[in-house]
């Protein structure tokens, strides 16, 4: 399985294991790491750097935001294994224009960790 920007998958999160859409933002770097963000429903205290609406992606049915505070670097190899095994459920890719907004928001958001912001320059988008 090819891990590339725009790849989307569902991952159970929290005690109720509610599925959240995750989006790969980068190609694997020299250390086989990709940057990933998750989406969640819009709430009053949400990071509104990027707000997505129903129709921006088939999974999104209500206003959603990118949780930049939870952005993470993860192994592309392990991600591929988990998708192939069914532990993570693959979903339709993110449209390129929406993906670009999400990528740009990574450095714009005050909630993105300093480490992720600094590492961003080492990834290929």
Q: What is the reported pLDDT for 15?
A: 65
List, for residues 57-91, the tens digit of each pLDDT value.
999 999 999 999 999 999 999 999 999 999 999 99
Provide DSSP, 96-124. Answer: HHHHHHHHHHHHH-TTS-HHHHHHGGGS-
Sorted by where each starts, the structural domains of the chain and their CATH numbers stand as: 8-122 (2.30.30)
Position 17 confidence tier, pLDDT thresholds 50, 70, 90: low
Residue 49 near residue 68 (C-beta atoms within 8 A): yes
- If you average pLDDT over every residue of the chain, what do you get? 92
Q: What is the reported pLDDT for 14?
A: 64
């Amino acid at each position: 399985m090819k891990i590339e920007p725009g790849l989307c998958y569902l991952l159970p999160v929290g005690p109720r294991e509610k599925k959240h859409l995750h989006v790969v933002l980068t190609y694997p770097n020299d250390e086989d790491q990709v940057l990933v963000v998750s989406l969640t429903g819009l709430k009053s205290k949400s990071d509104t750097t990027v707000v997505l609406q129903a129709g921006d992606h088939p999974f999104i049915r209500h206003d959603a935001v990118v949780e930049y505070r939870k952005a993470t670097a993860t192994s592309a190899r392990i991600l591929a294994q988990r998708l192939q095994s069914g532990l993570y459920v693959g979903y339709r890719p993110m449209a390129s224009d929406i993906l670009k907004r999400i990528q740009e928001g990574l450095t714009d958001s005050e909630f993105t960790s300093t480490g992720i912001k600094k590492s961003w320059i080492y990834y290929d988008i």
